[in-house]
Structure 1
Amino acid sequence: MPNTDPLLRLTVDLLRPRLGRLLLAALLGVLSLGSALALAAVAAWLITRAWQMPPVLDLTVAAVAVRALGISRGVLGYCQRLAAHDTALRAAGHARTGLYRELAEAPPEVSMRLPGGELVSRIGASVDDLADVIVRAVLPIVVAAVLSVAAVGVLVVISPVSAALLACCLLIAGVVAPALAARAVTAAETTAAGHRADRDVAAMLALEHAPELRVSGRLEDVVAETQRRQRDWGDAADRAAAPAALAAAVPGAAMGAAVLGAAIAGITLAGSVAPMTVAILMLLPLSAFEATTALPAAAVQLTRSRIAARRLRDLTRPAPNHRPRPVVPPIPLSVGDRVAVTGPSGSGKTTLLMAMAERTDHTTGARAFFAEDAHLFATTVRDNLLVARGDATDDELRSALDRVGLRTWLHDLPDGLSTVLVGGAAAVSAGQRRRVLLARALISTFPVVLLDEPTEHLDADDAARLLTELLTPGAFFPADRTVVVATHHLPDGARACLRLNLAASR
């Protein structure tokens, strides 16, 4: 697959949807909409046959079939949704596991290019968009293709001309309209990317240099330029959306043309075929287009999934001009050590801790790395803490939150530990997030704990107190556990078995 279009490769390699489940979902979808197609044919026959006033028993089978097809359509549609979403959710879980494994095995310049929390968020959103290709694109396309062929095949027996017209109209509704919709989405994405950057540059210029611009008399001009770029973006977005409006109109026009052609063919054949056949000929095209109504949205989803696939591919590749960070050799540790790693941003503190986390030391035991930007999930406070140790009790969780200074915060939550952090990290302040992440480390039972900037975004007094206690055996962690802390600077009262200043070592 070309590098410019990784959708197929990632769909196969990352999602790996089970073929059996996918075929089952497709079969159920075909049967569901096939019931609608059969319902139209049987209902047309029943209406015209009843008009001839035959004995009631002649209509019994058709009447029962109408009811059965009406019920089966809903039941089969529900089963199809269950099978499709089960396939998509399993595929998404497999994709996330594969991506995290690939990032874990990648060089540091790949896995550390973005903050961990942002990396998790991007992967989550992109994998969701990629997995949606199964439910919202692949299955609708398969179902529409099968039913379109079936509808045309039925009409061929009655009127080849009408069948040919229906085939052309289905191609227009199922290919042309989706192509226009996909084109509109691509144009909108491209337009937004270009104009958003221009607008943001102008807006930031006004925000960051407002005093200087006001003194020089240029502030109003810069604000006006920002507004102009915003209007340009709106105008460009309207122009980009024009194909979408046309895509919405095309299926209706195609359906009308097919129905009109079927009506003309029915009038032509009225004297040579049974009335029931004419009714089927005229009503069947209406149901045939039901499957194509989902195809414009399927084309849009294909475009979005392709964009998501490119994002995921870029996440697992080094940046073109990225320079690998220098790796500092891991330092030896002993049981109960308290080690402080200091240095400015970019000096390699995180790289050192990650290198230490990869080592296996039979003397000190297993190691756990707690990143400064670890992810907070959009779930309960309890579940966010149980990430570190699944068997921790509620009392242990409350104690950990209390020790990191979140007793009042927890008390004020409406449901305590059961309160859902809506939006994950967006539900708390930067300092509260840091304390929750530190509470995770306290709950863990790893013999060696590697903490990356555990007091960032805290006020100076709290940061000094926490750093001092983290580096004091028995204060935060038991004396027999080894603690390594990476920080910009140490308070005067903090003591450590070893201090490593990366800025000085370079």
Structure 2
Amino acid sequence: MPASDPLRAALPLLRPRLPRALLAITLGALSLGSALALAGVSAWLITRAWQMPPVLDLSVAVVAVRTFGISRGVLGYCERLVSHDTALRSAGNARTEIYRRLADGPVEVTARLHSGDLLARVGTDVDDLADVLVRAVVPFGVAAVLGVAATTVIALISPVASVVLAVCLIVAGVLAPWLSARAARAQEAVARQHRSDRDVAALTALDHAAELRVAGRLPELIADAERRQRTWAAAVDRAAAPAAAGAAVPTAAVGASVIGAVVVAIGIASSTAPTTLAVLMLLPLSAFEATGALPGAAVALTRARIAAGRLLELVSAENAPAHTATVIASPATTPRLRATRVSAGYPGGPAGPTVSVDLAPGSRLAVTGKSGAGKTALLMTLAGLLPAAAGTVSFDGIDCDELSESELRSAACYFAEDAHLFSTTVRDNLLVARGDCTDDELVHTLGVVGLGAWLSSLPDGLSTVLTGGAAAVSAGQRRRLLLARVLVCPAPIVLLDEPTEHLDAADSHRLLAALLDGTHGLLSPARTVVVATHQLGADIACPRLSVADDR
């Protein structure tokens, strides 16, 4: 495996236990070795019984047949337990490591991906990567051990037959997997993209079902998810069709090996015992039992390699910003936020209009514009979550690219319109913004955003579990809970994306006015507040930046 292979680079994520993997291979080899021995002993027993010897001459072989028949199933079951335990532990290790790296790494790595794509990567891709242990490593290891053992046994009877068997085993164990992997590789990347698109459409329908239903777009989105599912299934079928040739090669190799053994047996029949000839002709059938799984193992290896590449895009060290010793103002002091001729946009997508802002500590700014004009991308760029397509963003004169992730987050915090509510207590859903808040602070904050009566109606107050997260509250209550996070957040610069969406017009106007009031508003006059909205009333006095959709 070359050093540049993504699968090799991703193996540290799995942290597989080598002794367990070796134990799985050993048990698998013993299981199929029992099948090999069962075939040999059975061939001897059938041929010897045809000669009608005393029954006692067959007793040992009869017991051996029963032993190998039972041990094959028992050892195979043990191999499955060990290999699946190894794979599941490795998948857990991989997800833990990926979540840790995502939490500590640059936010823009995940901010540019849809939640459906993230789900596909940390879900299906991790499963595919962990499956390489069960579906590829163990089968290849078992096939190698069994192939050597079978060839050695046949060589004791006839070197010529062992050469024929070895060649056929190489064809079945190398050529067939190579053909299958080559066929799968051509289509798997396309199929994976279709599956990611399906997940994006499905999660959008789940997360925004109420709004989409009101807008009349939910059936259209569900139909789109179904279409993407069918497209993905068709791509998988196209990947499987060429692999059929690779799956047929082991069968052809078995036939060639058996024919070769028969020809050799005919040639040495005059000088070899009938029981030995029976073993020579029947043993190859069991020798190929391990190679039958290798085409599928090669496909699993290919899928794991593709999955490893996608996962490395998330957790690669290259994505981490270089840490510098630069220190900006502490959270107690608001830094000056300046954007110079910045054009914002998502990586790979169109860039928005060029804008420049200079926000002194305590400034208020309303970013307005139609939906899709680029307000969200602009706010994420100002927060350092997305790289600027053009221009620079700085805090107290220091380019945001020169700041570490922790320094950026201590200076500015972005609050998304669709921020997640966790299926945990009300208290914990607020403590994610600041972990040292007291219950009194949380109760006061909820009252400020208009959730005092709602909190009083909950059976356990702050300890009430929001089962299902956002599904446990209305759209308006969800918006107010997210706004409460803003109030308890310690960041001196806050950037809010549509903070009053789904509220009635009167409440929306009141809260927007309070957020943008730099003197007696909801947030301290020392903090800088940037709000993206398309509901700003004409009577709210604050600087405005209009983002026009000229892309």
TM-score (norm: length of structure 1): 0.64
Structure 2 residue matching 1:279: 3-state secondary structure:
helix
Displacement, 1:174? Answer: 0.9
Displacement, 1:53? Answer: 2.1
- When residues 486 and 66 of structure 1 are mapped into structure 2, their CA distance, relative to the original with a 3 A threshold, is farther
Q: Distance in 1 between matches of 2:505 and 2:162?
A: 80
Matched ranges for 1:156-305 at <5 A: 156-189=155-188, 243-305=242-304
Answer yes or no: is 1:458 the counterpart of 2:505: no
Displacement, 1:500? Answer: 10
Structure 2 unaligned segments of length 5 or more: list them.
196-231, 334-361, 368-374, 386-402, 433-445, 456-464, 516-522, 547-551
Partner of 1:345 in structure 2?
376
> Contact 1:455/1:463 (CA < 8 Å) preserved in 2?
no
Answer yes or no: is 1:488 the counterpart of 2:487: no
> Contact 2:177/2:296 (CA < 8 Å) preserved in 1?
yes
Q: Distance in 2 between matches of 1:447 and 1:70?
A: 66
Structure 1 residue matching 2:5: 3-state secondary structure:
coil
Partner of 1:5 in structure 2?
5
For residue 68 of structure 1, what is the amino acid of its counterpart? T
Instruction: Give per-residue Cα distances to partners, 1:405-440, cap 9 Å, x unaligned.
Output: 999xxxxxxxxx999x8xx99xx79x9799779879
- When residues 235 and 27 of structure 1 are mapped into structure 2, their CA distance, relative to the original with a 3 A threshold, is closer
Structure 1 residue matching 2:112: 3-state secondary structure:
coil
- When residues 345 and 264 of structure 1 are mapped into structure 2, their CA distance, relative to the original with a 3 A threshold, is same
Partner of 2:93 in structure 1?
94
Q: Mean alpha-carbon deviation: is it higher for 159-168 or for 431-440?
A: 431-440
Partner of 1:114 in structure 2?
113
Partner of 2:217 in structure 1?
none
Q: Distance in 1 between matches of 2:283 and 2:171?
A: 18
Structure 1 residue matching 2:376: 3-state secondary structure:
coil
**What is the aligned residue count?**
420
- When residues 467 and 117 of structure 1 are mapped into structure 2, their CA distance, relative to the original with a 3 A threshold, is farther
Partner of 2:79 in structure 1?
80
Structure 2 residue matching 1:347: 3-state secondary structure:
helix
Structure 2 residue matching 1:55: 3-state secondary structure:
coil
Amino-acid identity (%) = 50
Structure 1 residue matching 2:271: 3-state secondary structure:
coil
For residue 6 of structure 2, what is the amino acid of its counterpart? P
Q: Distance in 2 between matches of 1:3 and 1:437?
A: 49
- When residues 8 and 435 of structure 1 are mapped into structure 2, their CA distance, relative to the original with a 3 A threshold, is farther
For residue 140 of structure 1, what is the amino acid of its counterpart? P
For residue 348 of structure 1, what is the amino acid of its counterpart? L
Displacement, 1:293? Answer: 0.7
Displacement, 1:309? Answer: 1.4
- When residues 37 and 3 of structure 1 are mapped into structure 2, their CA distance, relative to the original with a 3 A threshold, is closer
TM-score (norm: length of structure 2): 0.60
Instruction: Give per-residue Cα distances to partners, 1:56-101, cap 9 Å, x unaligned.
Output: 2322222222222222212211111111111112212222222233
Displacement, 1:102? Answer: 2.8
Answer yes or no: is 1:310 the counterpart of 2:314: no
For residue 7 of structure 1, what is the amino acid of its counterpart? L
- When residues 54 and 440 of structure 1 are mapped into structure 2, their CA distance, relative to the original with a 3 A threshold, is farther
Displacement, 1:168? Answer: 0.7
Structure 2 residue matching 1:290: 3-state secondary structure:
coil
Instruction: Give per-residue Cα distances to partners, 1:325-367, cap 9 Å, x unaligned.
Output: xx99778469xxx999864323335864989994799xxx9x9
> Contact 1:117/1:375 (CA < 8 Å) preserved in 2?
no
Matched ranges for 1:284-433 at <5 A: 284-316=283-315, 332=331, 343=367, 344-348=375-379, 352=383, 358=406
> Contact 1:350/1:452 (CA < 8 Å) preserved in 2?
no
- When residues 195 and 357 of structure 1 are mapped into structure 2, their CA distance, relative to the original with a 3 A threshold, is closer
Answer yes or no: is 1:23 the counterpart of 2:67: no
Q: Distance in 1 between matches of 2:72 and 2:2?
A: 40
For residue 458 of structure 1, what is the amino acid of its counterpart? H
- When residues 502 and 170 of structure 1 are mapped into structure 2, their CA distance, relative to the original with a 3 A threshold, is farther
Q: Distance in 2 between matches of 1:274 and 1:404?
A: 94
Partner of 1:40 in structure 2?
39
Q: Distance in 1 between matches of 2:483 and 2:152?
A: 65
For residue 345 of structure 1, what is the amino acid of its counterpart? T
- When residues 58 and 457 of structure 1 are mapped into structure 2, their CA distance, relative to the original with a 3 A threshold, is farther
For residue 306 of structure 2, what is the amino acid of its counterpart? I
Q: Distance in 2 between matches of 1:501 and 1:356?
A: 30
Displacement, 1:250? Answer: 1.1
**RMSD between superposed Cα atoms in Å:** 5.5
> Contact 1:173/1:250 (CA < 8 Å) preserved in 2?
yes
> Contact 2:479/2:500 (CA < 8 Å) preserved in 1?
no
> Contact 1:147/1:288 (CA < 8 Å) preserved in 2?
yes
- When residues 67 and 270 of structure 1 are mapped into structure 2, their CA distance, relative to the original with a 3 A threshold, is same
> Contact 1:39/1:66 (CA < 8 Å) preserved in 2?
yes
Q: Mean alpha-carbon deviation: is it higher for 81-90 or for 141-150?
A: 81-90
Q: Distance in 1 between matches of 2:272 and 2:21?
A: 41
- When residues 457 and 165 of structure 1 are mapped into structure 2, their CA distance, relative to the original with a 3 A threshold, is farther
Q: Mean alpha-carbon deviation: is it higher for 109-118 or for 79-88?
A: 109-118
- When residues 293 and 356 of structure 1 are mapped into structure 2, their CA distance, relative to the original with a 3 A threshold, is closer
Q: Mean alpha-carbon deviation: is it higher for 238-247 or for 264-273?
A: 238-247
Q: Distance in 1 between matches of 2:144 and 2:159?
A: 19
Q: Distance in 2 between matches of 1:490 and 1:96?
A: 39
Structure 1 residue matching 2:270: 3-state secondary structure:
coil
Q: Distance in 1 between matches of 2:43 and 2:244?
A: 33
Displacement, 1:303? Answer: 1.0
Instruction: Give per-residue Cα distances to partners, 1:463-488, cap 9 Å, x unaligned.
Output: 839968998xxxxxxx9xxx999752
Displacement, 1:242? Answer: 5.9
Q: Distance in 1 between matches of 2:545 and 2:327?
A: 12
- When residues 467 and 279 of structure 1 are mapped into structure 2, their CA distance, relative to the original with a 3 A threshold, is farther
- When residues 62 and 453 of structure 1 are mapped into structure 2, their CA distance, relative to the original with a 3 A threshold, is farther
Structure 2 residue matching 1:348: 3-state secondary structure:
helix
Q: Distance in 2 between matches of 1:352 and 1:432?
A: 28
Displacement, 1:316? Answer: 3.6
Displacement, 1:259? Answer: 0.9
Displacement, 1:105? Answer: 3.5
Displacement, 1:135? Answer: 0.9
- When residues 195 and 91 of structure 1 are mapped into structure 2, their CA distance, relative to the original with a 3 A threshold, is closer
Partner of 1:226 in structure 2?
none
Structure 2 residue matching 1:53: 3-state secondary structure:
coil
- When residues 86 and 194 of structure 1 are mapped into structure 2, their CA distance, relative to the original with a 3 A threshold, is closer
